[in-house]
Each structure stands twice: as structure tokens, then as C-alpha cells.
């Protein structure tokens, strides 16, 4: 058996080990490769950056479960930091499914601790879960207070100072859906088409390619796609001198780069091996036929 | 390097390693962690439903003043879902299903037509503003050609010959580029998830970073 | 009648009413819409979580009763459920309950999904082959996107991020838009069939 044949039959545990090594080493010894923000992220950042304390609120939706935390948690925390730094009223919605609310709680607990002067109900509002998925998106367009009744902590929404004057989408400048599912499309259909609210999104890298169609048509104001998108947003916050936290997405980018290089190398080796072995097999077959 | 002294961090690290043991082979530690996860997550969902749904939307409006007696009807309709626990009455589930599936279908039609179809088609038209530069013109034409040929590729009611077949062949080129991009992005997503867990183990647990 | 005709009639009446309501901005129609959305749909959808509960218990209780292989894992799943439930109700979603989520549910689920990183790398090595023109196109695009979407791509060649952005916004976008329009047309047609009672599979495959 030749080298290429042996390579093609390589035990996958070696590949697992290789991936683990290229992810771990850059985390311990980071290179700090520069992050270049792309247009969709810049557009989202610019939109929020033009807002201030007197602006309509941002409705930030946490639509993902812990499986997607590394990609999406830095996004939700960056948007929260951006809003709290600029004084933009922000409504954090704990998502359309019950499993998402814990993530939203985790995000707000960590970011609120960095802004001790900001108060729940005055500078930000945390809304809990209600079932209904699409119905919830529609019901927010009718009336937020009568839909949710209380915030996550059980305080009636009518009594929260920040919510005075915020009734429905007409008082929301932008819905930012941080999503691990197809929910951005639902916000687009039921929030934007029915109630004309602007929508921006943060999504996993898996979903990002399909949302370019809505970006080009101007239906989404901007988009963060995957951990790279989150890193770009962190970079934009840092460039402006805003607090950006520990920048987990940025610190992960070196590992991301090297893991991609290894996978590309594996693909190239796999293909060379495939063609070499196929050629050898064809040659052997022809010789057999000759005989 | 300062290893965490938090018991919670240690629990999280232990559970993480139990799951990673699957990379070697399927084993009881992995299966235990997997089953603990299933139980905890359903328990979590039930607690959230209790506090955010059953208490404020069913119990309080019915049993506390001001009573919202009109909610009895949707609650009764919803309770028909319990029919799935009985072989004799499992057809009761058809009522809430019929109600919400058709309501959502109806709500969806006009907004989907506008959002997914009309606005998408409109954005692909070759309007004069798209020809502001040579680069933009090429892009606009490529987008138009890509859209039309992709649609042709997925139209299976006509035999693929002559111009129609050629257009479908162009369509598959665009589709393959899109699938390639999607694969690249999927790799990116999966690696990011691993990075997140490694950050936890190295930074939060072992305190190396 | 009760099992088939009446649910279909409900589907038609509610579907038709919700559809024409969209085009009639009258206070009565808006009131009808508000009640259906804010009360009926939200309340009914809450009951659908019963399905999750049912499938969980059906699966694990059957396993325990029949003492199938690994039944004690199922017993552990039920213990975990009861533990989470009681901690949430006793502490009224307190710090302990949050900690169970943050340090048990979250790492478990996140780690399970992170396993995919290893498997996708292995799959890329074993199955990602340039067998023909189409597969080569897919492979080349994937490689360009993989390298150009991370900072090292920018480091190797300054034009790489712009090239990837162009791929995403032009050829990728055009194909994705085509697929989406097709899906949209299909979904609208299915919605119409549901309202008209032609599509009834959601009611149990009739």
C-alpha cells in the first residue's frame, strides 16, 4: 500500500487531534491578526451608532440556545454594550422559545454588571418568554405591555419608566434579531411587512449566505454573520473607544484562521490522494485487462 | 495560570470533558451527560412555561380579579391537545391544530408574497441606478442572470433542451458557487463552536489565557 | 363529522377570516385580529409543549419499564428533569436555578454541538472531492470563502476579503434568491391548500 493510500485510510482520531491543536495553540499564544469589518456589519453598527438617548428603542431579540453561544453570545453582548454606552433604550427579549431565555439572562447579567449606573426598567428592559413564536412577533405590533404584561422579573410593564411612550413597533427604531434559526425571516415577514419596522440581524455562519438576498434588497439594515461578524462588531466598538468586554469573538479569530488552514490542507491532501489512487487503480486495471 | 476554584466551573468542565470523551468512542460517561442534558433542559422549559405562561396567562386571568372569562375558549381549545394521551380521544388534537395552522397560513400569505417574492424580484430588476459604474453594471447583470437561470434550473416541468437546457446549465454554476459558499460558512460555524468550548476550558477553567 | 368535517370547517373559517382581515382595515376586523393573535394563538401554542413532554416520557418510561439496555440512563434523565423542575419552583427561578442553566445545560449543549467541528473536518478530508466540474466549482468556492472570511486571508492577500464579499453578494446571492423565491411560492401555495382543506396532512396524514 502506497503513501497516498495509507493517508486516505488515516484514522480520523488524528484529524480530531490536529483540529484540537490548531484551535488550542492560538488561544494560548495569540497572534492578534487584524480584523477588517465588512459592509453588512458596518451598516448595522452605523445604524445603531447614530441613535441616542432620545431615539426610539432598540428591540434586541435573543433567538438561540446554548449550542450556538460561541457565535451569537458575543453579538448580543456587543449590541447591549453599544446601546448602554450610547444611552439608547434597549428592550431585550428572551426569545421565541423557552430554552433561549437563559441565554438572554446570562447576557444581560454580565453586561449590566459592567454598567452599574444603568438600571433595569430605566435604561433597559428584559422581557421574558411567551409562547406563540409568530404570534408574539405580531402581538408586539399591537401592544407590548398587554402582550407581555410584566418583564422577566415580574414587574408590570406599565410601571417601567423606560416603557413610557413605547407602545409597539412604531416606537421601535430597529429590531435586532440574534438568531440561530430562521426567525429573522419571521421578523421580516411579520414585523417589517406588517408593521414597517426596520430589522437587523446577527446569525450563525450557517445561515448567513442565505440572508444576503435580503441585505441586497435593503430589507435588512445590516448583518453580523458568525463569529467573524461578531469579531468585526467588537472591533468597531473598540475603534470608537466604546467598551467591548473581553472580546471573545476577536480572541477566537486566530484559532479560526488556523483551523481553516488545516481543513483546506486536509481537503487538498484528500483530493491529491484520491486522484493518485484512482490513477493507480485505473493503470492496474488496464494492465490486468492487457494480461 | 490559575485554575478556577469555583465548583460550578469544575462541574461545567467535567461535563464538557464527558461529552468530548465521545470523540474516542461511545461510552457511558458520554451517555450519562447526554441524558442529564435531556432531563435538565426539559425541566428548564417546564419551569419557564410555569412562570411565564401558566401563571400569568391561564391561572391569574381565570382565578383573580379582573377575571377574563373570554379566555376560557382558547384555553379549552388548547386543552384539547391533551387528547394525544388517549387512544380513544386523540382526534381532539385536530381542533387546536386546525385553528392555529390555518390562522398562521392565512397570516403568512400576504406578507410572504411581499417579503420573499415581490421585494426580491423588484431588487433584481435592471433599473438605471444599477448601471452607475462598469463594476456595478456587471454585478447587476450577473445577479439577474443568476436569478433567472437558478429559477430555470428548479423548473422541472419542461424538458431540458436547447436554450432552456443551456440556461439550466448556467443556473447550476451559480447554485454550485452558492453551495460552496454555504459549505465554507458551515465549516466556519462548526469551528467557532469548538473555539467557544476551548475558550471556556483554557480561560475559565484552567486560567491559562 | 366531529373527527374530520368540523376541524376542516374551522380551518377554512379561521383561515379565510384571517386572510380577508389583512385587506380590511376596519376597527372590527382589527379587534378580531388582535384577539386572535394576542389571546387565542398565544394560549393555544403554549399547550403544544405537551408534545415535548409526551415524547420524553414515552421514550424513557418505556425504556425503564422494559428494562431495555441502558435503562438507567433514562432513569437519570427523569431524575435530572425532576431536579431542575423542583429547583426552579423552590427557588422561584433563583440564582441556583440560573447556575444549573449556566453551568450544566449551557456547557452540555454547547459541547455536544462543538463535536461537529471534528466531524466536519474529517468529512472534508474523506468526502470533499473534485470529481467533476460542478464539484470542483463547489470545492474551489468553499476554499476561497474559508480562507477569505478569516483574518489570515486578509494577511495573505489584501484583496481576499473583498473577493469573498463579492462572491457572497453576487453569485451566491443570486442563487439563494432564486431558491428563496421558489420556496416562497411553494409555501404560499401550501398555505392556500391548508385554508381550502386540500392539504390535511398536518391533521394526521389524511
Judge if B139 and B177 occupy the same domain: yes
Judge if B116 and B77 occupy the same domain: yes
Percentage of residues of chain A with pLDDT beyond 90: 88
Judge if B4 and B61 occupy the same domain: yes
pLDDT tens for chain B, residues 1 to 209: 789 999 999 999 999 999 999 999 999 999 999 999 999 999 999 999 999 999 999 999 999 888 899 999 999 999 999 998 888 888 999 999 999 999 999 999 999 999 999 999 999 999 999 999 999 999 999 999 999 999 999 988 888 888 899 999 999 999 999 999 999 999 999 999 999 999 999 999 999 86
- In the predicted structure, residue C6 carries a pLDDT above the cut 80: yes
- Distance (Å) from the alpha carbon of C135 to chain A's nearest alpha carbon: 12
- Judged by CB atoms closer than 8 Å, whether chains meet at B56 and A150 is answered as yes
Whole-structure pTM value: 0.93
In chain A, what are the domain boundaries? 3-30+255-290, 39-246
- Judged by CB atoms closer than 8 Å, whether chains meet at B194 and A23 is answered as yes
ipTM of the complex: 0.93
Q: What is the pLDDT of residue B154?
A: 92
Q: Closest Cα partner for B77 from C47, A128, C188?
A: C47
Of C37, C110, C151, nearest to A139 by CB-CB distance is: C37
Domain count, chain B: 3
Residue B86 parent element (H or E): none
In chain C, what are the domain boundaries? 1-48, 128-194
- In the predicted structure, residue A15 carries a pLDDT above the cut 70: yes
φ, ψ at A267 (rounded to 5°): -65, -45
Task: Kindly report, residue by residue over A254-277, the tens digit of the pLDDT.
Answer: 999 999 999 999 999 999 999 999
**What is the span of the domain harbouring residue B91?**
73-124
- Distance (Å) from the alpha carbon of B159 to chain A's nearest alpha carbon: 29
| Confidence grade of residue C204 (pLDDT, cut at 50, 70, 90) | confident
- Judged by CB atoms closer than 8 Å, whether chains meet at B44 and A255 is answered as no
Q: What is the pLDDT of residue C183?
A: 94
Task: Kindly report, residue by residue over A67-90, the tens digit of the pLDDT.
Answer: 999 999 999 999 999 999 999 999
Average pLDDT of chain A is 94
Q: What is the pLDDT of residue A1?
A: 63
- Judged by CB atoms closer than 8 Å, whether chains meet at C112 and A261 is answered as no
Judge if B56 and B86 occupy the same domain: no
Report the residue of A31, A72, A98, A142 to disrupt the B interface, i.e. the one with the largest count of B CBs within 10 Å: A98
Task: Kindly report, residue by residue over A183-204, the tens digit of the pLDDT.
Answer: 999 999 999 999 999 999 999 9
CATH number for the domain formed by residue range(s) A39-246: 3.40.50
Kindly identify which residue of chain A lies nearest to residue C142, measuring between CA atoms: A264
Report the residue of C2, C3, C11, C118 to disrupt the B interface, i.e. the one with the largest count of B CBs within 10 Å: C11
Task: Kindly report, residue by residue over A216-253, the tens digit of the pLDDT.
Answer: 999 999 999 999 999 999 999 999 999 999 999 999 99
Q: What is the pLDDT of residue B6?
A: 96
Q: CB-hemisphere CA count at 13 Å for A23?
A: 25
**Both ends of chain B: CA-CA distance in Å?**
8
Judge if B11 and B80 occupy the same domain: no
Distance CA B135, CA C162 (A): 13
Kindly identify which residue of chain A lies nearest to residue B130, measuring between CA atoms: A216
- In the predicted structure, residue C2 carries a pLDDT above the cut 90: no
Distance CA C33, CA C36 (A): 5
Task: Kindly report, residue by residue over C106-130, the tens digit of the pLDDT.
Answer: 999 999 999 999 999 999 999 899 9
Report the residue of A252, A253, A258 to disrupt the B interface, i.e. the one with the largest count of B CBs within 10 Å: A252
Average pLDDT of chain C is 92
Strand A90-93 vs strand A124-127: parallel, antiparallel, or unpaired?
parallel
What strands, in cross-sheet order, belong to the sheet with A57-63? A124-127, A90-93, A57-63, A172-179, A199-203, A220-225
Q: What is the pLDDT of residue C205?
A: 57
Of C126, C147, C180, nearest to A270 by CB-CB distance is: C126
C-alpha grid cell, residue B11? 462541574
Amino acid at each position: 500500500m502506497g503513501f497516498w493510500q495509507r493517508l486516505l485510510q488515516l484514522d480520523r482520531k488524528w484529524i480530531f487531534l490536529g483540529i484540537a491543536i490548531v484551535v488550542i495553540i492560538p488561544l494560548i499564544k495569540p497572534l492578534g491578526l487584524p480584523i477588517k469589518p465588512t459592509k453588512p456589519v458596518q451598516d448595522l453598527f452605523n445604524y445603531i451608532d447614530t441613535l441616542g438617548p432620545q431615539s426610539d428603542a432598540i428591540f434586541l431579540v435573543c433567538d438561540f440556545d446554548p449550542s450556538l453561544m460561541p457565535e451569537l453570545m458575543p453579538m448580543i453582548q456587543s449590541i447591549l454594550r453599544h446601546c448602554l454606552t450610547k444611552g439608547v433604550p434597549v428592550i431585550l427579549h428572551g426569545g421565541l422559545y423557552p430554552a433561549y431565555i437563559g441565554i438572554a439572562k446570562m447576557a444581560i447579567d454580565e453586561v449590566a454588571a459592567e454598567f452599574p449606573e444603568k438600571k433595569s426598567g430605566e435604561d433597559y428592559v428584559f422581557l421574558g418568554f411567551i409562547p406563540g413564536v409568530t404570534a408574539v412577533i405580531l402581538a408586539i405590533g399591537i401592544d407590548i405591555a398587554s402582550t407581555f404584561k410584566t418583564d422577566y422579573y415580574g414587574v408590570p410593564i406599565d410601571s417601567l419608566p423606560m416603557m413610557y411612550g413605547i407602545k409597539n413597533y412604531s416606537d421601535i427604531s430597529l429590531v435586532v434579531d440574534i438568531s440561530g434559526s430562521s426567525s429573522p425571516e419571521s421578523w421580516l415577514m411579520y414585523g417589517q411587512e406588517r408593521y414597517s419596522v426596520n430589522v437587523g440581524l446577527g446569525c450563525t455562519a450557517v445561515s448567513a449566505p442565505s440572508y444576503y438576498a435580503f441585505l441586497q434588497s435593503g430589507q435588512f439594515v445590516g448583518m453580523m454573520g458568525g463569529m467573524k461578524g461578531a469579531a468585526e462588531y467588537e472591533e468597531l466598538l473598540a475603534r470608537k473607544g466604546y467598551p467591548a468586554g473581553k472580546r471573545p469573538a476577536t480572541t477566537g479569530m486566530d484559532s479560526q484562521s488556523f483551523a481553516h488552514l488545516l481543513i483546506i490542507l486536509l481537503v487538498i491532501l484528500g483530493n491529491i490522494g484520491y486522484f493518485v489512487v484512482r490513477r493507480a487503480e485505473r493503470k492496474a486495471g488496464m494492465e490486468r485487462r492487457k494480461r | 495560570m490559575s485554575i478556577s476554584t469555583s465548583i460550578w466551573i469544575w462541574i461545567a468542565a467535567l461535563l464538557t470533558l464527558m461529552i468530548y470523551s465521545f470523540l474516542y468512542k461511545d461510552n457511558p460517561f458520554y451517555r450519562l451527560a447526554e441524558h442529564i442534558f435531556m432531563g435538565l433542559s426539559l425541566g428548564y422549559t417546564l419551569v419557564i412555561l410555569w412562570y411565564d405562561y401558566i401563571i400569568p396567562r391561564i391561572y391569574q386571568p381565570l382565578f383573580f380579579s379582573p377575571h377574563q372569562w373570554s379566555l376560557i375558549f382558547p384555553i379549552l381549545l388548547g386543552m384539547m391537545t391533551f387528547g394525544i394521551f388517549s387512544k380513544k380521544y386523540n382526534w381532539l388534537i385536530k381542533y387546536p391544530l386546525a385553528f392555529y395552522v390555518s390562522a398562521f397560513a392565512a397570516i403568512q400569505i400576504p406578507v410572504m408574497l411581499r417579503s420573499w417574492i415581490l421585494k426580491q424580484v423588484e431588487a433584481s430588476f435592471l433599473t438605471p441606478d444599477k448601471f452607475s459604474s462598469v463594476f456595478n453594471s456587471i454585478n447587476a447583470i450577473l445577479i439577474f442572470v443568476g436569478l433567472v437561470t437558478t429559477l430555470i434550473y428548479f423548473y422541472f416541468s419542461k424538458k431540458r433542451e436547447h436554450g432552456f437546457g443551456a440556461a439550466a446549465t448556467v443556473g447550476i454554476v451559480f447554485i454550485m458557487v452558492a453551495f460552496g459558499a454555504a459549505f465554507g460558512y458551515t465549516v466556519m460555524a462548526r469551528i467557532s463552536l469548538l473555539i467557544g468550548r476551548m475558550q471556556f476550558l483554557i480561560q475559565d477553567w484552567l486560567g491559562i489565557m | 363529522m366531529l373527527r374530520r368535517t368540523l376541524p376542516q370547517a374551522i380551518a377554512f373559517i379561521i383561515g379565510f377570516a384571517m386572510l380577508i382581515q389583512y385587506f380590511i382595515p376596519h376597527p372590527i376586523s382589527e379587534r378580531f385580529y388582535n384577539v386572535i393573535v394576542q389571546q387565542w394563538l398565544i394560549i393555544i401554542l403554549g399547550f403544544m409543549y405537551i408534545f415535548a413532554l409526551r415524547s420524553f416520557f414515552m421514550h424513557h418510561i418505556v425504556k425503564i419499564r422494559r428494562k431495555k439496555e441502558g435503562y438507567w440512563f433514562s432513569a437519570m434523565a427523569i431524575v435530572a428533569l425532576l431536579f431542575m423542575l423542583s429547583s426552579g419552583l423552590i427557588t422561584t427561578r433563583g440564582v441556583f436555578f440560573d447556575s444549573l442553566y449556566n453551568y450544566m445545560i449551557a456547557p452540555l449543549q454547547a459541547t455536544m454541538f462543538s463535536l461537529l467541528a471534528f466531524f466536519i473536518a474529517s468529512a472534508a478530508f474523506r468526502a470533499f472531492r473534485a470529481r467533476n466540474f460542478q464539484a470542483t466549482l463547489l470545492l474551489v468556492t468553499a476554499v476561497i470563502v474559508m480562507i477569505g472570511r478569516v483574518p489570515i486571508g486578509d494577511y495573505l492577500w489584501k484583496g481576499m476579503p473583498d473577493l469573498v464579499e463579492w462572491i457572497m453578494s453576487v453569485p451566491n446571492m443570486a442563487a439563494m434568491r432564486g431558491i428563496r423565491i421558489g420556496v416562497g411560492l411553494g409555501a404560499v401555495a401550501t398555505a392556500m391548500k391548508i385554508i381550502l382543506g386540500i392539504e390535511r396532512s398536518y391533521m394526521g396524514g389524511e
